[in-house]
Amino acid sequence: MSYKSRTLLQRVKDIFELLLGDEKLAGRNRLYKSDFQKVGISPANIGQWLDLIQYIQRAPLIHVQKSGRKTIVEPLENGFLQMMRRKYLDPNAVFVEREAAILLYLRALSTMERTTGEPIDLETVLLQNLEMDRPIITKVAKEAIERLNSTS
C-alpha cells in the first residue's frame, strides 16, 4: 500500500505501532522526528500529528454506540472526571494527590456505571487513557477495594 493513499485512521495506527512496537526503537526512551519517516510521515508533518494526538488524549472520553444506521455519541466523562484524570496525569503533582485523583476517578466511574446501568470497561479506560499497564491497574484496583471496604 502506498503511504499517500492511507486514511487518517491508518496513519494514526502506523504512528502508534511505531511508538509501541518498533524493535529497533524498543530500547530507547525517545523518538526523533526523523524516526517517523519509517511510517511515511515527514519530520515536517509529524509535529501536527503529534499535536492532534495530544489534544485528543486530553479531551473527554466518549462512548460510541452503533445501532444499524444510527451512531450515538455520548460523553463518558463529566467535568469532575476530566479534572481527576488531568490531576492523575500531571507529572508535577505530588504522588499522594495523584493517587487520590485516580481513586476518585475510579469511584466516580463505578458510580456512573451503577446509576446509568450501562457497563463501563474500566480496564480499557485505564489502559488507553491513563497510561497504566495491567500490574498497576491490578494494584490500584486492589487498594481501592480495600479502602472502600475499610470505610464502609
Distances in whole angstroms, Cα of residue 71 to Cα of each of 63, 64, 76: 10, 7, 15
pLDDT of 152 strictly over 60: no
Residue-number span of the structural domain to which 29 is assigned: 3-57
The answer to the question of residue 41 being in a domain is yes
Q: What integer is the mean pLDDT of 119-136?
A: 65
pTM comes to 0.57
Question: What tens digit of pLDDT does each residue of 17-76 get?
Answer: 888 775 555 556 678 888 888 888 888 889 899 888 888 877 777 878 888 899 988 887
Q: 52 with 81, same domain?
A: no
Q: 49 with 82, same domain?
A: no
Instruction: Give the type of residue at 116.
Output: T
Distance CA 3, CA 5 (A): 6
What's the pLDDT at 93?
84
The answer to the question of residue 132 being in a domain is yes
Q: 93 with 125, same domain?
A: yes
The alpha carbon of 133 is separated from its chain's Cα centroid by a whole number of angstroms, namely 11
Query: Would you say 94 and 84 are in contact if contact means Cβ atoms under 8 Å apart?
Result: no
